[in-house]
Amino acid sequence: MNKHLFLLVTLVSHGLFAQVKQAQNPVIFADVPDMSIVRVGKSYYMSSTTMHLSPGVPIMKSTDLVNWKLVSYAYDTLASIDELNLANGKSTYGRGSWASCIRYHNGLFYVSTFAQTTNKTHIYITKDIEKGPWKAISFKPSYHDHTVFFDDDGKVYLIYGVGQLKIVELSSDLSGVKPGATEKVLIENASAPAGTNIMLRAEGSQLFKVNGKYYLFNITWPRGGMRTVVIHRADQITGPWEGKLAFQDLGVAQGGLIDTPKGDWYAYLFRDYGGVGRIPYLVPVKWEDGWPVLGVNGKAPTTLPLPPGKGLIPGVVHSDEFKRKKSGPALPLVWQWNHNPDNALWSVTERKGYLRLQTGRLDTAFTQARNTLTQRTIGPECTGATSLDVSLLKNGDFAGLCLLQKQYGLLGVKVQEGQKYLVYVSAASGQPVEETRVPISQPTVFFKAECNFRDRIDTAHFFYSLDGKSWTRIGAPLKMPYTIPHFMGYRFGLFCYATEQTGGMADFDYFRITNRMTPAKSF
């Protein structure tokens, strides 16, 4: 046996060879769709979509394109209107703010998005993307899936549209369309490189300039096929443009280009992956004849020549004991409210070490109730758990732990005629159905939900405990499909709402998340 083979056998037999790790796809096994990434020096900043959640347009930071941490949001409140406030029976599920674009130009960060809910294009500007403050600009109309582009001649453009892509020049301060500027058709049919039988016409524009040439990325979807990347190239921003089908594997598509300080190139894209949501992939890029060539032999590789991922806890999701220092934020960035919250009705200071949710109005449905506090679920497996003091709930109140999507699951305590019940509600059929009810008399209960997203199993189980040690499964398994009406992956949530009278309170002692389905006594 030669010495090289002997060394390899020795490493494998001692388990040392397995310690040589690389990054893996997906780089984030969680719902982070519509990514836009910019590199500033050695740091990368990524914006993405969270639609109806508040705060919105999350900003993540990385130094290696693999390990990401939430550092900011572009806005706290998109607008204060009934749809975003869950008021008067209105909501903005599946809408809110959509695909964002992040740019860095002359010392300023620009994050833009658009919203059907407001019928406006929204642009947020800051010198310090991690600490703010942000300047907010908005103007009509809502430019669909747009990309903002600062050209070398000082002009600023916005490219947008579906199928037929258009371009318009903006004012230098991005306050709106430049006076006198008119919209022009940039590409008549951007789907053409993928064929003529198209189910989803080209959208998701992201424009880049590399070595003097313009490269426009779009997603399209041939009927009977999969989500597909098309790229158009031009020597002038006004064209003429020539297009290519650039990538077609696993449905990984929609995104753009990013380079490393060492000069390596990647395409950042995402994949629809069932109940957990739309998950980011990185695909290596090499350049041939002035075109970016995506993938390894046309495929999205399983491993990448980048540092290994350290997990999504605590950068993307995080446990919270609700213990606060006087100088710290009220809520860590991993939390987002389902729609705009009523800030007068929640607190992490009224009862030390607890999140208190107080009812302030009557609601007839969970999806219309305000102040549900949420975090992402993560794959391939995860568990979320909480402890809840229900002693201050009033008749008609319902509070507990949820998995939020259109076909949601709720496990909580409901009070009726002075009696408290453990109640499990499933909306797996499309309508909420109370499946299980167990009377209780104690003030504190414990809940957890286990999620399995492996191979798109997309199933969750709910459990309760009366002592925090021994757990009992309740209700049928919850099937977790990805539905367009909510348009996002399932999220853990803490909720409390009233159906008979206001003023009741739910006190949550903690929320704990792990990246596995936990043994029965883990919490």
Per-residue pLDDT tens digits for 238-287? 999 999 999 999 999 999 999 999 999 999 999 999 999 999 999 999 99
Going from the C-alpha of 505 to that of each of 182, 289, 409, 441, the distances in angstroms are 55, 65, 21, 17
% of the chain surpassing 90 pLDDT: 94
How far is residue 470's CA from residue 158's CA, in Å, rounded to a whole number? 57
142-156 pLDDT, tens digit per residue, is 999 999 999 999 999
Above 70 in pLDDT, residue 6? no
The pLDDT of residue 326 is 83
pLDDT for position 325 = 87
The owner of tokens 């951007």 is 190
Cα dist from 364 to 117, 144, 389, 497, 500, whole Å: 23, 34, 23, 9, 9
Asked whether residue 95 carries a pLDDT value surpassing 50, the answer given is: yes
Taking the C-alpha atoms of residue 432 and residue 242, their distance in angstroms, rounded to an integer, is: 51
CATH T-level assignment (fold) for domain 336-514: Jelly Rolls (2.60.120)
In this prediction, residue 520 has a pLDDT band, given cuts at 50, 70 and 90, of very low
Q: Are 341 and 355 in contact (CB under 8 A)?
A: no
Strand partners, 387: 446, 510
Distance CA 78, CA 56 (A): 7
In angstroms, how far apart are the furthest CA atoms of the chain? 81
Min mean pLDDT across 247-261, 284-298, 408-422, 505-519 is at 505-519
User: Helix count (H) and strand count (E) of the chain?
Assistant: 2, 37
pLDDT of residue 130: 97
- What is the SS3 assignment for 389? strand
| Nearest by Cα to 33 from 294, 318, 373, 272 | 272
What does the alpha-carbon distance between residue 502 and residue 247 come to, in Å, rounded to a whole number?
A: 55
Angstrom distances, CA of residue 6 to CA of 15, 21, 353, 478: 14, 21, 57, 51
Over residues 359-388, the mean pLDDT reads 97
Superfamily for domain range 22-304: Glycosyl hydrolase domain; family 43 (2.115.10.20)
Q: How far is CA 454 from the centre of its chain?
A: 19
Contact predicate 164/188, CB 8 Å: yes
Q: How far apart are CA 466 and CA 473, in angstroms?
A: 12
Give first-to-last CA distance, the chain, whole Å.
51
Residues facing residue 280 across a β-bridge: 270
Rg for the chain, CA atoms, rounded: 24
Q: What is the DSSP string of 51-116?
A: BTEESEEEEEEESSSSS-EEEEEEES-S--SHHHHT-TT---TT-SB---EEEEETTEEEEEEEET
| Pair 167, 236: CB distance under 8 Å | no
**CA 225, 231, 234 angle in degrees (round to 5)?**
155
How far apart, in whole angstroms, are the C-alpha atoms of residue 55 and residue 128? 18
What is the tens place of the pLDDT at every residue in 13-49? 444 444 448 999 999 999 999 999 999 999 999 999 9
Mean pLDDT computed over 67-93: 97
Collapse the DSSP code of 339 into the 3-class scheme (helix H, G, I; strand E, B; otherwise coil) and give the result.
coil
Torsion over CA: 210, 215, 219, 222 (sign) = negative
Mean pLDDT estimate for the chain: 95
Question: What is the structure's pLDDT at 10?
Answer: 42
Residue 119's pLDDT band (cuts 50, 70, 90):
very high
- Contact 446/386 with Cβ under 8 angstroms? yes
Q: What is the pLDDT of residue 328?
A: 81
Locus of tokens 């007068």: 344
Locate the domains of the chain by residue range.
Answer: 22-304, 336-514
Preceding peptide of 240 cis, ω within 30°: yes
Amino acid at position 258, single letter: I
Mean pLDDT, residues 98-124 taken together? 97
Phi, psi of 236 (to 5 degrees): -125, 145
Strand segments, DSSP code E, in 241-342 are: 242-247, 253-259, 265-272, 278-288, 291-294, 303-304, 336-338
Indicate the residue type of 342: D
Query: Among candidates 523, 521, 510, which has minimal Cα distance to 386?
Result: 510
**pTM, entire model:** 0.94
Examine the pLDDT at 350 and tell me if it is beyond 90.
Answer: yes
Q: Which helix (H) or strand (E) holds 12?
A: helix 3-13
465-498 CB burial, b ≥16 within 10 A, e <16: bbeeeebeebbebbebebeeebbbbbbbbbbbbb
Residue 519: which pLDDT band, with cuts at 50, 70 and 90? low
Q: What is the amino acid identity at position 447?
A: F
Q: How far, rounded to the nearest angstrom, does the alpha carbon of residue 295 sit from its chain's CA centroid?
A: 24
